[in-house]
Amino acid sequence: MKKEETMRRKSWKFSEKFILIDNYKTSTIQELMKMLSDRSADSINAEIKRLKAAGKITGCKDTEAVTRSLKQR
């Protein structure tokens, strides 16, 4: 792949990471996409995975968020 063909990942701002950390357990990906309008579902999921690996997000989503997520599909 040529240099100009490679995609660069857009850096996450502290405020965007804070939104993910603060809302992860109670919000669906669709709801997080509304809060972070410049981010795709794939981008949000990838950052959540990085934050979990760093120990900044712990635990699981609450039952209500999971139920809403299933209805949004």
- The pTM of this model reads 0.85
**In this structure, what token pair is assigned to residue 68?**
């809403």
**Which residues of the chain are under the pLDDT cut of 50?**
none
Q: What is the pLDDT of residue 8?
A: 77
How many distinct structural domains can be found in the chain?
Answer: 1
Say if 2 falls within a structural domain: no
User: Residue 28: which domain range?
Assistant: 13-72
**In this structure, what token pair is assigned to residue 67?**
């139920």
Q: What is the pLDDT of residue 4?
A: 57
Q: What is the pLDDT of residue 73?
A: 83
- Cα(61)–Cα(58) distance, rounded to whole angstroms? 10
- Cα(50)–Cα(64) distance, rounded to whole angstroms? 24
Say if 31 falls within a structural domain: yes
Q: Quick one: which of 53, 47, 61, 59 has its CA closest to 18?
A: 47
Say if 4 falls within a structural domain: no
CB proximity list for 11: less than 8 A, separation 6 or greater: none
Q: What is the pLDDT of residue 2?
A: 56
Say if 51 falls within a structural domain: yes
Say if 7 falls within a structural domain: no
Q: What is the pLDDT of residue 18?
A: 98
